[in-house]
Amino acid sequence: MGASDDTRDRPARLAVGVIGPGRVGSAVGTALERAGHRVVAATAVSEASRRRVAERLPGAEVMEPAEVVAASELVLLTVPDDALGPLAGGLAETGAPLEGRLLAHTSGSHGHGVLAPATAAGALPLALHPVMTFTGRPEDLERLASCSFGVTAPEPLRPIAEALVVEMGAEPVWIEEDRRALYHAALAGGANHLVTLVAESREQLRAAGVPDPGRMLGPLLGAALDNALRLGIDGLSGPVLRGDARTVQGHLAELRAHAPESVPAYVALARLTADRALEAGLLKPHDAERLLDVLQA
């Protein structure tokens, strides 16, 4: 656990506002409160967002975006990625009092450059991306306190950005501005595609007659993930590593018959796996050639 609950009794250090109090914004706002700051204002357009503010940020007054900025020293812009630029531009164009205020977004794909219109108006931009999935459930806060944050900011603001993350009990990891898109692609590819792959495996196991696919997959996938995190490609196992071209050919035949929509992903991942295994010296060239012939069919 990171910051302890008794920090609620300390004098607040920053007045925090939240523009876009969804799953991420409400969780980060709550984490900052636990660290001794105070969420004083939030936007809330829908009934669901008003309810979320009331439940998770009860000290926040619901206001318009420019009013949230005026009431705050640190403003969280926790809106969808595509809305960040227009929001920053809108705040600057409407004359929101941005001068000297910390403006932090939680997007993974953007650095601080997306806030350029607000920065030009005097705001102090921070990119603080929590490397975690959010469900809107209470466990979000516990997960937030043990995850990493991808941090990007102008160099003079780096200590402030990293300190905010540490106060929430998380680990700041510095990401250069021009590496944000690659950083986010890596995270999305690992986490989002993992969910899709597991869901596909569950469906195919059900079709094969397995009554509880989750129970069967749990130990296997847990071990595979542990191996991958500790060993990288050296943790690989399975028919591609063994050069079992006939087994892979059989997989493709069954998938074409029962789950044709899965075939392109299987082929692409098997080719990538073969390439990585060959490069690492785990797969012999003649075995790789036979595999690639099957995967081109």
Q: Where are the beta strands (DSSP E) in 28-73?
A: 38-42, 61-62
Taking each continuous run of H as one helix and of E as one strand, the counts in the chain are 13, 8
Q: Which of 6-15, 134-143, 183-192 has the least mean pLDDT?
A: 6-15
Strand (E) or helix (H) holding 123:
none
* Arithmetic mean of pLDDT, 188-193: 93
Tell me whether strands 38-42 and 61-62 are parallel, antiparallel or unpaired. Answer: parallel
Q: Which amino acid is at 203?
A: E
Residue 3 in contact with residue 33, Cβ under 8 Å? no
Tokens of 132: 């975690």
For the segment 36-58, the average pLDDT, to the nearest whole number, is 93
Name the band, by pLDDT with cuts 50, 70 and 90, for residue 146.
Answer: confident
What does the pLDDT read at residue 11?
A: 43
Q: Can you read off the two tokens belonging to residue 187?
A: 């995270």
CB under 8 Å to 107, separation ≥6 — which residues? 81, 84, 114, 127, 129
pLDDT at 8: 44
pLDDT (mean) for 7-15: 61
Own/partner pairs for 42-45, CB < 8 Å, 24+ apart?
A: 42/17, 42/18, 42/68, 43/18, 43/19, 43/68
Sequence-distant (6+) residues with CB within 8 A of 284 are: 243
Give me the helix-helix angle, 180-207 and 213-231, nearest 10°. Answer: 150
Could you give the strand order of the β-sheet that contains 102-105, starting from the edge strand earlier in sequence? 61-62, 38-42, 15-19, 74-77, 102-105, 124-130, 148-152, 171-174
Q: Which of 253, 237, 1 is nearest to 141 (CA)?
A: 1
Q: What is the pLDDT of residues 71-127, one digit of tens each?
A: 999 999 999 999 999 999 999 999 999 999 999 999 999 999 999 999 999 999 999
Residue ranges per structural domain of the chain: 5-175, 183-296
CA torsion, points 143, 162, 75, 129, in degrees to nearest 10? -50
State the pLDDT confidence band at 153, using cuts at 50, 70 and 90: very high
Tell me what the pLDDT averaged over the chain comes to: 93
Q: Write out pLDDT tens, residues 255-283.
A: 999 999 999 999 999 999 999 999 999 99
- pLDDT value, residue 297: 60
Higher per-residue pLDDT: 45 or 106:
106
Structure confidence at residue 1 (pLDDT): 38
Residues 153, 103 contacting (CB under 8 angstroms): no
Task: Judge contact between 25 and 2, C-beta under 8 A.
Answer: no
Rounded CA separation 264/295 (Å): 10
Question: How far are the Cα atoms of 83, 257, 289, 292 from residue 245, in angstroms, in the given order?
Answer: 47, 19, 9, 8
Judged by average pLDDT, the poorest of 83-97, 130-144, 229-243 is 130-144
Asked if residue 40 lies in contact with residue 16, where contact means CB atoms within 8 angstroms, the answer is yes
- Which tokens hold the place of 30? 């709550």
The reply to whether the predicted model has a pTM over 0.85 is yes
- pLDDT mean over 137-154: 93
pLDDT(3) > 70: no
Range 5-175 has CATH code 3.40.50.1370: no
CA distance 102 to 160: 9
- Percentage with pLDDT > 90 across the chain: 89
Q: At what angle do helices 180-207 and 245-258 cross, to 10 degrees?
A: 80
Mean pLDDT to the nearest integer, 43-69: 94
Residue 136: predicted pLDDT: 85
Q: What is the pLDDT of residue 2?
A: 43
**SS3 assignment, position 294:** helix
- Which has the higher per-residue pLDDT, 288 or 135? 288
Lowest model confidence (mean pLDDT) among 8-17, 150-159, 175-184, 273-282: 8-17
